[in-house]
Amino acid sequence: MPESDSPVDTTATTVAEIMSTPVVTTGPDATIATAAEQMRHRKVGSVVIVDDGRPIGILTERDLVRIAAAGADASSDPVGEWMTPDPDWVARGASVSDAFMSLAEHGYRHIPVVDDKQLVGIVSMRDLMRIAQIQPAENLAHEIPKGLEGVVVAETVIGDVRGLEGFSHYRQYSAVDLAERRTLEDVWYLMFDRELPTLAERDAFIDEIRPLREIPGDVADALPTLARLGGDAPPLDMLRTTYSLFATSLAFAPSLDVPAAELRQQALRTCAVIPTLLMALYRLRNGREPVAPHPDLSYAANYLYMLTGETPPPEHARAVEQYLISTIDHGFNSSTFTARVITSTGADLGSAIVGAIGALSGPLHGGAPGRALDMLDSIGTLDNAEPWLRDAVARGDRLMGFGHRVYKTDDPRSTMLRGVAERLGGDKVELAKAIEAKAIEVLTELKPGRKLYTNVEFYAGIVMDTCGVPREMFTPTFASSRAIGWCAHVLEQAADNRLIRPSAQYVGPPPPQPVPDPA
């Protein structure tokens, strides 16, 4: 391998001079788990599958992500079923620039090197770039799975989701256990301050956030006008606009310039005021005066109180609280990622939350619970379930409240909320359970292998509906709890920041084309 500080002549250098050898290989009958362990142990990104010394396939780290996402059994599935068969290869005498072109054109990251059909080495895109300094990293962009599925973009100590197991956690605790055993204020404290509070810390925290629920006077004055804007604009859009006004009114400075303690204070104010803004806008929209926050009620009870002006039954407050806790955070979901990207630019916390609200508003993310309940209403009776669901899936529609990017088994939040819905009772629960079972049957039959199960949104709608939350407020309620997760991520990103700035693969007509004169 040539050793030089300056780029090598890529046309004169052969791959034989830079290839890695010996190659990590296995046979087609080895299990995925064995191949993954070989990669981990030898610190390489691929294993070449050989038969009598000839490369007959290749398995890469990217394949492992795909395999995990598909829910394959790594301990028994053979590599031969998942490898890319008949991989392209380069001859050992090929030039480095030819090898690079082959990798870049086909979107490979690794390419076997062959001599007289026998595997003699392997070259990776990373090796070529490092050694020859030939192309910028943008040429790797097309290696990334669409939708960034499975791509790790940051380290976090806030929490994670294990999709194959059906498990999610905040810090070191199961999210569902927290929802079963703790208050929302406790979990909020955990998300911001890394530990569950003692009883004294809980009281001090509640005292700290109580006054922060109030809407600042200037913003409160503007609410009636804001509530009139936009006709039937969804309440989440109203929140996006109004929260932006709130952040501006408090002059949130760029996070890059704000000390950590001040940023935490902004985050607390944000999470405390969002329920008040939401309910004030909702009531004004419906011709009623806003209800001021009740200083003695918990977050969840106060949420319902500001909706109706009446102290809610404790079982309703607790059910909503459990829903809220279970949706505070969920790995690098789209809105959380959005908040972190915006924070990474050094922008203010208000901008990060406005962006996150926008990302959450989409039906593929936070916009589903109202639609899930619409679906139940539209199905109406159990007899109608099967034909309705079949028609919908056959048409290419998505069943709202089913499927998840990460979960390939039951979403633990949906299992918990099914229990909450059963505890609350009500006329919709039994029908919902029967429709859920039918939907899984239909999805399993019509979308085989996709592993589509019930997600958090399906029973969220039932729980909130039973507790008196209007359908149009389902997604805003989700935003209210998720704001705590967003803010925890903003604080974490700001504390150890690097600009998030990925690349894209240009796939348009080859530039530069001559610029035509106007015709």
Q: Among all residues, which ones are annotated catalytic?
A: 404, 457
Edge to edge, what strands does the sheet with 84-85 contain?
25-26, 46-51, 54-60, 84-85
Minimum distance from residue 240 beta carbon to ligand CMC (Å): 17
* Residues 41-80, mask of contacts with ligand CMC (x by CB under 6 A): ----------------------------------------
Residue 43, number of CB atoms within 10 A of its CB: 7
Residue 110 bridge partners (DSSP): 124
Q: Which is nearer to ligand CMC, 186 or 457 (CB)?
A: 457
Q: Which is nearer to ligand CMC, 276 or 333 (CB)?
A: 333
How many whole angstroms separate alpha carbon 282 and alpha carbon 479?
14
Closest CA to 337 of 489, 221, 195: 489
Q: Return the residue of 447, 471, 497, 500 that touches ligand CMC, per CB under 6 A.
A: 447
DSSP 8-class letter at 142: G
How many whole angstroms separate alpha carbon 117 and alpha carbon 54?
6
Region near ligand CMC per CB under 6 A, out of 195-203, 233-241, 358-366, 488-496: 358-366
* Residues 452-491, mask of contacts with ligand CMC (x by CB under 6 A): x--xxx----------------------------------
* Residues 134-163, mask of contacts with ligand CMC (x by CB under 6 A): -------------x----------------
Minimum distance from residue 368 beta carbon to ligand CMC (Å): 4
Sign of CA dihedral 345, 239, 456, 306: positive
Q: Which is nearer to ligand CMC, 113 or 406 (CB)?
A: 406
How many whole angstroms separate alpha carbon 336 and alpha carbon 365?
11
Q: Which is nearer to ligand CMC, 257 or 445 (CB)?
A: 445
Minimum distance from residue 438 beta carbon to ligand CMC (Å): 13
Q: Are the beta carbons of 452 and 443 closer than 8 angstroms?
A: yes
The amino acid that residue 235 corresponds to is P
Minimum distance from residue 349 beta carbon to ligand CMC (Å): 22
What residues numbered 312-331 form the site for ligand CMC, per CB under 6 A?
A: 330
Closest CA to 57 of 70, 46, 48, 69: 48
Minimum distance from residue 239 beta carbon to ligand CMC (Å): 17
Q: Which is nearer to ligand CMC, 104 or 434 (CB)?
A: 434
Q: Which is nearer to ligand CMC, 293 or 366 (CB)?
A: 366
Q: Which long-range contacts (CB under 8 A, 24 or more apart) does 384-388 make?
A: 385/434, 385/435, 385/438, 385/439, 386/438, 386/442
Angle at 106 between CA 37 and CA 120, to 5 degrees: 55
Residue 418 bridge partners (DSSP): none
Minimum distance from residue 42 beta carbon to ligand CMC (Å): 31
What residues numbered 382-441 form the site for ligand CMC, per CB under 6 A?
A: 393, 398-405
Region near ligand CMC per CB under 6 A, out of 44-52, 231-239, 349-357, 365-373: 365-373
Q: What are phi and psi of 386, to 5 degrees?
A: -60, -55
How many whole angstroms separate alpha carbon 331 and alpha carbon 324?
16
How many whole angstroms separate alpha carbon 239 and alpha carbon 353?
11
How many whole angstroms separate alpha carbon 403 and alpha carbon 409?
9
Minimum distance from residue 454 beta carbon to ligand CMC (Å): 9
Minimum distance from residue 155 beta carbon to ligand CMC (Å): 21
Instruction: Tell me the residue nearest to ligand CMC as measured from the CB.
Output: 403
User: Quick one: CA torsion of 338, 339, 343, 345, rounded to 10 degrees?
Assistant: 20
Contacts with ligand CMC by CB under 6 A: the residue count is: 23
Q: Return the residue of 12, 229, 364, 394 that touches ligand CMC, per CB under 6 A.
A: 364
Distances (CA, A) of 487 to 311, 343, 475: 28, 10, 18
Region near ligand CMC per CB under 6 A, out of 79-87, 190-198, 262-270, 361-369: 361-369
* Residues 329-348, mask of contacts with ligand CMC (x by CB under 6 A): -x--x---------------
User: Quick one: CA torsion of 104, 105, 111, 114, rounded to 10 degrees?
Assistant: -130
Q: Which is nearer to ligand CMC, 119 or 400 (CB)?
A: 400
Q: Which is nearer to ligand CMC, 81 or 397 (CB)?
A: 397
Minimum distance from residue 206 beta carbon to ligand CMC (Å): 29
Q: Which residues bind ligand CMC (CB under 6 A)?
A: 147, 330, 333, 364-366, 368, 393, 398-405, 443, 447, 450, 452, 455-457
